[in-house]
Chains A and B, each alone.
Chain A
């Protein structure tokens, strides 16, 4: 039995049923969910099994697919997040304008992604890549936002640039090695200059998909204007395709030795190219965080947060050491979990209230307790506070950077993660805590499917917090699998304790200590015999003696970190988005000028032709 064919069959069936039953909601959704879960179960079943099954698939030596643990890792992420997103969409997309086509294009995107993850040649990789881009572009158009065209188009155009950059580099490779297969790549036939160009063009293609600064300009618009359950998938799984591509191209096919050939820095034990990647990641992490802190729209904040988090992953890739790659893979999982959960929470809130700005919300904790718990766990993970899963990434990443002696970069990355704490707090404060608005008194809890979809990742995060070693056992496997020079300074994992030459951390002991201390504190807290805790009303707060009403705006939420904004105002003016906007304006002006040449008047064309002929003649005759 061929595993790949089976998976393709199951997913194609799901895709077809989404087209066939596009009018019948229950049938369509159930068949999609069934196909995704069967495929997911299938992948998980054969996750580490490579014997007794046929796991490669090729067609005329042109398309080549392979079923291996590394791809499976990403496929599980794609299918899992996809499943959750579709589950959440059941209620979220209900009776929305674009509901019918949403699922078709969603499935198309998933199909493309699974295809590109399993592909082991450039051609099928590129086809999968384009299907994914196209599908996601079409999904964005299914949302109800008025300005979706503008942002979808921006996303599409920038993605196209990335795709062409990728295509170009593929042609260069084919020109030299005469094969599209990854395994056929041979770095010795390239010169140093060619390799450098290749690395740059390939990276641009993938960095655009991962929304790394300065290629992030599409991200905030596309993330915030798509149907939000799709954004959960977009940010949770799809943005990682850039990371996957970098993995597979840089360390899978091109290989470290080829990268080192382009220039090697003894001090940092890394090539200049990788060093650039690290700093791009650092800058992205920092500036993305800063933008997230200062945004007023929930969706935009999460979008910039995604940009920042992708920066961490790029750092790990740039480091190229075992520890760094482990950190990246770990973060791919944790980010997938918490971003999915958060976007679904936000989708639920927007679904129930119709509000998207922070200052229009507040005090929803009693209306949506499950969403609150999911958010709480997600933001603790996001901020990387022990004992939940997020801290493992942070620890691995910092130790990896310190190991490579990139101390400045470490400092700024750590600062960025502190910044994440700031916006994470705002996320929970302005949505769930504080005073509830009068019009939100009878907001119902999130729909059941969404509650399930937001709680499952939360459980995953708690589990990863206590047993990060289980995941790392696998990631170590992949890293060996994709043939990286195994560095001596690897992370040593014994049970739940992590040790490397610089530091150590024991997840399980720390986690259990926190739990034990929590239990003891709770007992101590409730020891007092006479203690009666009275629950008082929402408005019974200190307002300097004044009496307030429900109409009084008592939530502090707009311009929450106004201090930072005021302090950094001069610097914030210069953003890449503004730069691009200006360039596009200039471009329009240029086009305007060009339009003047093409007036449509035959006589003008005649004159131009004459002038051109004369100049050419003069040039050749002289």
Chain B
């Protein structure tokens, strides 16, 4: 192994570990902010870490079958595979993004979700299955505007290469895709609400409707891995959005800051809205965001 690929591997491992820690960190920061809005203290910043360690130290892990056992591992695999395809900066921080373009990233993201869905199916709980059905329906909803936004970007940059898209945004805030192409930016931001599963669109795990939804049958280590992967997935999704629409980042700290600021947006939307009914969730995305997306795409093409 050459030193170059050695360094790349080390940086990748560091990014994967960092994404876990940072994912938990922004999660707990979000919980603090939520608490402040709700007039209370909120949990300490280290709370997600404590939770995960506790879940690992549980004594019993129960499973209903092979897929439920394998599901979390496959989920982790899917998320890490996604993570290594997203560039987090320049040089070694592009990780392995030369092995797949935007379309690859979009598709490999679903790997983890499929694994999760299969694990939930094996558990045989109707609430879990309903949660998955809801989650998939929501995905079918928000993917339309998201795809429109991404295709617009590809059309504008003549490339599906994330690194190229980042490079094209060089030179100040005005050049960021979200501001240079406002329709595309708005579409992406609306679709992002669906991606982040905060309040108006948290149907999949609505406690009052389907208990805890997909995670109903998962405890202990399974739950710990799910929490970890969720934290990583949030970072991956946000990093991708920052790369595509908010100018990428020259160094990892600015990226972290941008990720956090972007994370606040669905959080605050979620704080002041109840959740949609399932049909409305689906229709919401296929109405206005899609229309704006089509306009953005039309502008991008012509």
A contacting B, Cβ–Cβ less than 8 Å = yes
Q: Which residues of A contact B (CB under 8 A)?
A: 363, 365-366, 376, 380, 383-386, 391, 394-395, 398-399, 402, 405, 407-408, 410-411, 414-415, 418-419, 421-422, 425, 428-429, 432-435, 497, 501-506, 509-510, 513-514, 517-518, 521-522, 525, 528, 530-536, 538, 540-544, 554-557, 560-561, 563-564, 566-567
Q: How far is the CB of A389 from chain B (nearest CB, A)?
A: 13
Q: How far is the CB of B35 from chain A (nearest CB, A)?
A: 28
Q: Give me 4 other A-B pairs in contact (C-beta within 8 A), A504-B99, A517-B76, A555-B124 excluded.
A: A407-B297, A503-B161, A555-B126, A563-B282
Give complex CA distance A365, B119 in Å: 12
Contact status A429-B84, CB under 8 Å: no
Contact status A386-B73, CB under 8 Å: no
- Cβ-closest chain A residue relative to B286: A567
Contact status B104-A535, CB under 8 Å: no
Contact status A433-B56, CB under 8 Å: no
Q: How far is the CB of B216 from chain A (nearest CB, A)?
A: 5
Chain A to chain B: the 4 pairs with minimum beta-carbon distance, closest first: A433-B121, A503-B101, A503-B160, A563-B278
Between-chain CB contacts (< 8 Å), 19 pairs: A385-B111, A385-B114, A391-B104, A395-B103, A415-B140, A422-B140, A504-B98, A504-B99, A506-B98, A510-B99, A517-B81, A534-B62, A540-B62, A541-B64, A542-B216, A561-B137, A563-B137, A564-B140, A567-B282
Contact status B122-A421, CB under 8 Å: no
Q: How far is the CB of A165 from chain B (nearest CB, A)?
A: 35
Q: Select the stretch in B150-158, B174-182, B234-242, B259-267 that faces chain A.
A: B150-158
Give complex CA distance A209, B206 in Å: 46
Give complex CA distance A214, B106 in Å: 30
- Cβ-closest chain A residue relative to B97: A504
Contact status B126-A556, CB under 8 Å: yes
Partner of A513, one of B81, B132, B143: B81
Q: Which residues of B contact A385 (CB under 8 A)?
A: 107-108, 110-111, 114
Partner of B136, one of A366, A425, A521, A567: A425
Contact status B160-A434, CB under 8 Å: no
Q: Is B225 an interface residue (CB 8 A)?
A: yes
Contact status B61-A536, CB under 8 Å: no
- Cβ-closest chain A residue relative to B84: A513
Q: What string of 1s and 0s marks CB contacts (under 8 Å) between B72-104 and chain A?
A: 111011101100110000000000101111111
Q: Which residues of B contact A429 (CB under 8 A)?
A: 117-118, 121, 129, 132
Give complex CA distance A536, B219 in Å: 13
Contact status A407-B151, CB under 8 Å: yes
CB within 8 Å for A421 and B61 given contacts A513-B99, A567-B279: no
Give complex CA distance A411, B69 in Å: 36
Contact status B77-A521, CB under 8 Å: yes
Question: Of B64, B278, B282, B283, which is in contact with the most chain A CB atoms at under 10 Å from its CB?
Answer: B64
Q: Which residues of B contact A376 (CB under 8 A)?
A: 118
Q: Which residues of A contact B66 (CB under 8 A)?
A: 365
Q: Which residues of B contact A395 (CB under 8 A)?
A: 103-104
Give complex CA distance A433, B117 in Å: 10
